[in-house]
Structure 1
Amino acid sequence: MKFRNLPIIVWAIVLMTVVFDQPARADEAPHAFQNVGVRQIAAPSKERGINLDVTVWYPAQAGGKPITLGASPFFEGTDASRDAPISAGSFPIVLLSHGIGLAGYAEALSWIATPLAKAGFVVAAPSHPGSGGPERSAAEAIKLWKRPQDLSNTLNAIGRNAVFKPHLQLNEVGVLGLSAGGSTALEIAGARIDPTRLAGYCDTERLNASLCQWLRQSGVDLHALDRQAAGRESEDKRVRFAMAIDPAPVDVLDLRSFRGISIPVTVVNLGRPGQIPVTTDASEIAKMIPHATYSTIADASHFSMFGVCKPGAAKRAERDEIGDPICADGGGRPRHAIHRQLIDMAIAAFTRALKPSS
């Protein structure tokens, strides 16, 4: 199985993230729940011409079928209970957007979705078409402007779902995005793609060699994209807060549009300042967003957003010609410790934004 041409790290930029003196831990969060349920729902998408597959994590009662989500030959998974009864009460919603490549599907982010559900959020993540898995498609994955609508369609669908509707606080909605999902989170908050910048993104290998190689080998010409569609508005005013972790590619977003974002935004870059790749460095962009906070995790890397690697995964990735050091972080702490920090940051941020009385 050859993976050399897949855009595994696929872009990253990272914006805003709040720095808390005493971040809330998942096991110390207010209203923590012992059990997490998971269900699959469908979200109709007129634009895509299909029903999107949506994974929903939620605070649950005992019951359901034990299941492990996000496991692969390389990465460990996270446990949950399939179709467990939802807990009593009503909960804020976190829309979750994944990246492109090895982690290009919703369940790959179970490591952060499950603790958010345990902290009292309903987390809903569509699998963006073309981004990963056996049906991956460079031509579809590069249509970044369609991703925010996937999230809006997901919110529509969960709000109509008979199981979830009685338990949702539909006026308390946030969005969390990682990698390409990070730029999706910024778009649904009000940022726009600059069609000219997107068209020229692969005119050089300097910005993202792996992604651009995949596009070229798939016969995708960025200059032939529908520019009118690419530059459209994607803001969903139901979203009250956005968090973007290593969003990418920041290079194709319209810089002027950041000043029009009206909701609070948290951006996090993974890596040491001064060494973060240009296409993922959101330090200056965060300054343009009126209500943004920005931070970095110096001993992390873009690969830290992947699941915890199984024993022998690094050697297997080399043998399978993955082409990227998918098990390498920034040096120092193990990946599960970096995940713990990101989880704590996310729980604290969404609690402050969507649970002001907690």
Structure 2
Amino acid sequence: MQRVFFLLPAWGLALLAGLAHGAMGLSEIPGAAGDGPVTVFYPSSSEALPVRHGRLTLDVAEQGTPVRGNGRLIVVSHGSGGAPWVHADLVRGLVEAGFVVAMPEHRADNYKDVRNPGPDSWAMRPGEVSRAIDSIARDARLAPLLELDKVGMYGISAGGHTALSLAGGRWSPAAFTRHCEADLEGDFQACVGLITRLTGSWLDHIRKWGALFVIRRRFSDAVPHEHHDPRIAAVVAGVPFSADFDLATLATPRVPLGLITARQDRWLVPRYHSDRVLAACLPRCQLIADLPTGGHGSLLSPLPPGLTGLLGDMLNDPPGFDRATALPEVNRKTIIFFSTHLLL
């Protein structure tokens, strides 16, 4: 296995040389009935132009002509309230390596609609990933360029929860409630999201009481959730919410599983989330990268400018984090992980 990792960079350079005159195509295709659209990035023979998406400008060939790359698909599951554009740097690296990348829009938990994050969304997301693969399989332009028997899956934060589910993990809303009852103060933001924060004042008592009142009423279902898609052949989970998983189900992942962690993540504190998974699955999983000074938003790239308030506190870089150095290396290792398990 070690020899494979040494050979991959040279193999990758040869592939990139073949794509050097192409561009990253961008299209949006319909999802399954009841689902949102699927955003797709792919190798293209068309010209790339600067296109504005939200706060970011990307060089893409919108509706560009697809060309065959390496024949493999990666599905990306965004975080709560997330959008495709904040994964563009990783996606560009995957496309340059020949992959097609598809991003389903998770219902009621995306940048257009944030009505229902948390366990309700987590229960729907794995099925939305599977149906996104189905949508790609029906697309007349993309389907002929792909073999869908070995699909990669990547997710961060809530998308990391999706990733762990597709790697074989089983969880329940009641387990989420038990975690918040046991560790509400230490993992407050993971339990309540962007609704409020603890400030150290006397009002914190009311905030904690209110949070538990709502959580206990909404998330008492003890029926375990699991989802198996035999097409998923490799999974990467970045800074995942994972405190509600039965760790025995992740001790031997169904498929190759890689994790990316950030030591300064104050929203999904590692000791409650990624560290638990690693303790359960190593050495049968792989720690792709650990960011000693990285925070919860450190895997988003490019990071939208001007984030303020609780959202800025969650996503902006902690002091001392060198994004320009850290992220290209993390993305490189992620691409190697997928190439190893999907192409060889």
Shorter-chain TM band:
0.7 to 0.9
Choose which of 262, 265, 272 in structure 2 pairs with 1:270.
262
Equivalent AA in structure 2 for residue 296 of structure 1: D
Alignment of 1:242 with 2:241, yes or no, is no
Choose which of 320, 325, 333 in structure 2 pairs with 1:337.
325
Equivalent AA in structure 2 for residue 306 of structure 1: L
Residue 206 of structure 1 deviates from its aligned partner by 2.0
Consecutive unaligned residues of structure 1, counting only runs of 5 or more, are 1-19
Distance 1:105 1:24, change over 3 A: same
Residue 135 of structure 1 deviates from its aligned partner by 1.6
Alignment of 1:221 with 2:199, yes or no, is no
Distance 1:348 1:286, change over 3 A: farther
Report the equivalent of 1:349: 337
Report the equivalent of 1:280: 273
Alignment of 1:36 with 2:14, yes or no, is no
Alignment of 1:57 with 2:41, yes or no, is yes
Report the equivalent of 1:170: 148
Residue 257 of structure 1 deviates from its aligned partner by 1.0
Distance 1:119 1:355, change over 3 A: same
Report the equivalent of 2:300: 306
Residue 186 of structure 1 deviates from its aligned partner by 1.2
How far apart, in 1, do the equivalents of 2:75 and 2:112 lie? 24
Residue 302 of structure 1 deviates from its aligned partner by 1.7
How far apart, in 2, do the equivalents of 1:322 and 1:233 lie? 30
Choose which of 61, 67, 86 in structure 2 pairs with 1:87.
67
How far apart, in 1, do the equivalents of 2:10 and 2:159 lie? 24
Report the equivalent of 1:3: none
Choose which of 127, 138, 148 in structure 2 pairs with 1:160.
138
- What SS class does the counterpart of residue 30 from structure 1 fall into? helix
Report the equivalent of 2:168: 190
Distance 1:35 1:243, change over 3 A: same
Report the equivalent of 1:255: 247
Alignment of 1:135 with 2:110, yes or no, is no
Distance 1:160 1:134, change over 3 A: closer
Residue 174 of structure 1 deviates from its aligned partner by 0.9
- What SS class does the counterpart of residue 72 from structure 2 fall into? strand
Distance 1:309 1:166, change over 3 A: closer
Q: For residues 320-356 of structure 1, what are the alpha-carbon distances to aligned partners after superposition, in whole Å with 9 as ceiling and x for unaligned?
A: 56461633246152x2322211210111111111111
Distance 1:163 1:213, change over 3 A: closer
Residues 78 and 111 of structure 1 are in contact (CA less than 8 Å); yes or no, is this contact kept in structure 2? no
- What SS class does the counterpart of residue 252 from structure 1 fall into? coil
Residue 167 of structure 1 deviates from its aligned partner by 0.4
Residue 149 of structure 1 deviates from its aligned partner by 0.7
How far apart, in 2, do the equivalents of 1:153 and 1:287 lie? 30
Report the equivalent of 2:198: none
How far apart, in 1, do the equivalents of 2:99 and 2:279 lie? 26
Residue 44 of structure 1 deviates from its aligned partner by 1.0
Residues 138 and 214 of structure 1 are in contact (CA less than 8 Å); yes or no, is this contact kept in structure 2? no
| Paired residues, number | 318
How far apart, in 2, do the equivalents of 1:90 and 1:27 lie? 11
Equivalent AA in structure 2 for residue 59 of structure 1: P
- What SS class does the counterpart of residue 44 from structure 1 fall into? coil
- What SS class does the counterpart of residue 24 from structure 2 fall into? strand
- Percent of aligned positions with the same letter in both sequences? 23
Residue 221 of structure 1 deviates from its aligned partner by 3.4
Residue 287 of structure 1 deviates from its aligned partner by 4.0
**RMSD across aligned C-alpha pairs, in angstroms?**
3.2
How far apart, in 2, do the equivalents of 1:332 and 1:22 lie? 30
Distance 1:236 1:206, change over 3 A: same
How far apart, in 1, do the equivalents of 2:321 and 2:48 lie? 38
How far apart, in 2, do the equivalents of 1:68 and 1:23 lie? 34
Tell me which moved more, 255-264 or 320-329: 320-329
Report the equivalent of 1:15: none
Report the equivalent of 1:109: 87
Q: For residues 231-272 of structure 1, what are the alpha-carbon distances to aligned partners after superposition, in whole Å with 9 as ceiling and x for unaligned?
A: 222121111111111111x11111121135231111111227
- What SS class does the counterpart of residue 113 from structure 1 fall into? helix
How far apart, in 2, do the equivalents of 1:78 and 1:39 lie? 13
**More helix by percentage:** 2
Consecutive unaligned residues of structure 2, counting only runs of 5 or more, are 196-209
How far apart, in 1, do the equivalents of 2:10 and 2:279 lie? 25
Alignment of 1:296 with 2:262, yes or no, is no
